[in-house]
Structure 1
């Protein structure tokens, strides 16, 4: 088995430090609660000597063992990291000598299995790539590890990150299940991450979003999920689906935890040219935006056209109306007279140009000798993928080699620009800070139901424009199924979106843990 260079270094240094008596891992209390623990909780406990990174990793691995394939069996984890405990021991030894190595010191994290991690396979949920070991970390993973985070597992996903309806792959038999009701879907390709973090199998998680798959699973599992402005976060080392839309980012139980991760992963990466835009636009830190009174005076446009009452589930609709009332109680100014003209036609009249062949072949080439498969056609020929994907893969393979050569590429890009212009015109004319709408207009569907109403709004504004959007919990339809809204902002307005989200979260405190996932001793 391959072992990461950094992990090997961590282990050896930690052993040397312990052997010479320079440092020893702190003893930690056995009653520190892992369920719903936040980064700030954990670091405070570390500073008081009540918890260690080793305790955290061992505890979350026990939770994975107890709840992922046993008990509720949410089936969210593809593989655990065999080096996680040795990494934790090293970090504890460093902490004893010189303190935290970074802002995520000792924080156990789960990443979706389309992020490259040197030392673990990156399958993208595809059986053909089950033994594909990338030559280095994805940029975001590298930044997380440098900040002291410990990747303890990789999560299940909709294979090829291709579905916003469910999370099932050929690597891990069976669907990932929603911990709030295991009969129901996790919502999309990052559903494994969503289920794992909702059930407190780690502190925070990483997902990817091409059409909805950070924000959708976050809303169906009472999490906060941020899809950044295109260009603020790197896509290097993330298995692509369509690079015009692909984004990676955090999924967390609180706004603050999402921000703490976002601070680490956002910024310029020379391997991804679009991130040049971040040099002038990234905030030094987004934490100062988290003020409890942040709703006061904020001007928010309500996009009723995305959730007409007659086309929404009554319980979800009521939650959205209640959320709007809460915004008013917090001092926000809501404007209902907001409409984006021709929104449906702008979303639907553009040809869906498949980019998978070009982007996926480039990713496979980046693996060098790490993969036996060199092209999308090789994957198709292998038959080592879930049957539901066959037509999609064949259709993608039949597409032009270079998407920009497609006869409708220019039309597609023009429609995207019109949509950007329309949104900004509306926001500027009304002096809006953000637009708001529910992530779904219906509760999570039963697993296997592909025909019932879903009401997913996530793909309509943020992915085609590249504008940022954040999903925030707004309560539970029928008292039990998580629901969330989204805030969409201008490019590089993440600080403002975090601010509004935090103000609402602190006012309402909707997040609660799912039943049946208590502490494991």
Structure 2
């Protein structure tokens, strides 16, 4: 769930190397003769509303659509460019599609997601598949029940197509890691240039949805793990307010900051997905913080003129690390102004002051939350200490390039009653939230803050780890507030996004602003699966 800035000195992102083990479900449909080029696909860039319209008209069935995505996965994820983004397929996917087709034929539809195939990150419980966090230690861990949000997706009529690879343990095992690698799933590639990194930790979801392997997908984030992989894959990603979407049945890092959220090719698709999964869960300790639990149709906030009269603050201290990204951001600012927004420079007064304390909070909460999940879910390993021992025993497969020092640091922490933990938790929330984002919004009466979401994707490097330059999402993550990234253009053929951040529970307004920005520029371009970028002709293959 996590991708932290370098200021914390732990870009805990996992090493890029060849897969140690492939599960049968992940590799069963991989024809060896497929070409490296992407074959023609009938549903290229098709949105949820388009697909739903075809099914309503009777020109498409959920079974046919599900089969088309399964074939697409076989052709370009397991063969062809071999994106390696899907770690396991749902053996019941076609059966689920058939049942939903039968419901439609009988006159019953459940809503915009009825019959729509989607992918889930492999740290979310979804029967009958394994939930492993990418670790070989949990490769045979099959939860007995769906996570709360998966149950909501099934209630909404979604077809669970499969699980996506991730940075193992959601980027919380080593300080020397490379995004998109897991011991169980191997290295996921960036679909725009295959030798570049997909970011993390929702690496597989980002690559898969960008490559049209499903209609939409679910990622998770603690600090950047939705926003970063969405941005470098040319996607929309929504990181909700903590508590809006249930965390029950998700392998945790931090009860303070974890959340699941949508990753999609458009704001409209992300809004449809958020509508389905935003629901109060009595077993989630943060659900009660939402004062009004009335269901929200986020699609009602797709307003193309929402930037007109809006006040937007640019956090320039979150720029300056990559000149081409800055240039793209200046063009995005100009587009917002042209759409009627007032755009001013803004400052988060506490920026950077919470970094060390955030890491301390995550270490404490990881041990506590993971031990509780393992003990309660029937996992083969019952504690963080047992996982550390497993990794040491299987070091050749699990630690080929980097160790598990974050695991070890977390395991040394005490209980959540420790005074040091409580002080760090309260300090980070205050500095990033009321004293940070809220103070910046209030000072200039702003609707949202914006910054570049992320630099362009870097080359995958298993020896040195991630080449992380900078990002704009951290304050919202630590404050537990929402953020949304929307494509704003390309840098030498690699996507970059702009992130909108607001106060708690401001998802409707951020969706309005993000949608208006998307409609003004329509910057997303589908990937071409280039082997690499050429310095003589950026954006073209060598």
> Do they superpose with TM above 0.5?
yes
For residues 93 and 349 of structure 1, what CA distance do their matches in structure 2 show?
A: 53
SS in 2 for 1:154: strand
CA separation of 1:129 and 1:317: change in aligned 2, threshold 3 A: same
For residues 35 and 118 of structure 1, what CA distance do their matches in structure 2 show?
A: 28
Which residue of structure 2 lines up, in the alignment, with residue 56 of structure 1?
65
For residues 351 and 284 of structure 1, what CA distance do their matches in structure 2 show?
A: 33
Q: TM-score, normalised by structure 2?
A: 0.85
Which residue of structure 2 lines up, in the alignment, with residue 510 of structure 1?
523
Alignment of 1:312-391 (within 5 A): 312-336=321-345, 338-348=346-356, 352-353=360-361, 354=363, 355-368=365-378, 371-383=379-391, 384=394, 386-387=398-399, 388-391=402-405
Match of 1:466 among 480, 485, 510: 480
Alignment of 1:259-274 (within 5 A): 259-274=271-286
Query: What is the deviation of 1:409?
Result: 3.2
Q: Deviations over 1:366-424 (max 9, x none)?
A: 213xx222111111222257213422222221121x13415253144224213322221
Structure 1: runs of 5 or more not aligned:
1-30
Q: TM-score, normalised by structure 1?
A: 0.88
Q: Deviations over 1:133-176 (max 9, x none)?
A: 11211111110011000111100001110169511111113x10
Query: What is the deviation of 1:448?
Result: 0.7
Which residue of structure 1 lines up, in the alignment, with residue 430 of structure 2?
417
Match of 2:216 among 198, 204, 224: 204
Aligned-CA RMSD value:
1.9
Alignment partner of 1:405 is 2:418? yes
The 8 Å contact of residues 178 and 461 in structure 2, kept in 1 or not, is answered as no
Alignment partner of 1:152 is 2:161? yes
Structure 2: runs of 5 or more not aligned:
1-39, 531-542
For residues 357 and 138 of structure 2, what CA distance do their matches in structure 1 show?
A: 35
The 8 Å contact of residues 302 and 511 in structure 2, kept in 1 or not, is answered as yes
CA separation of 1:349 and 1:275: change in aligned 2, threshold 3 A: closer
Alignment partner of 1:102 is 2:111? yes
Which residue of structure 1 lines up, in the alignment, with residue 540 of structure 2?
none
For residues 289 and 176 of structure 1, what CA distance do their matches in structure 2 show?
A: 34
For residues 267 and 243 of structure 1, what CA distance do their matches in structure 2 show?
A: 17
CA separation of 1:204 and 1:217: change in aligned 2, threshold 3 A: same
Alignment of 1:125-274 (within 5 A): 125-162=134-171, 165-173=178-186, 175-274=187-286
Query: What is the deviation of 1:345?
Result: 2.4
Q: Deviations over 1:254-313 (max 9, x none)?
A: 0000000000100201111211233515552111111111110010001001103xxx22
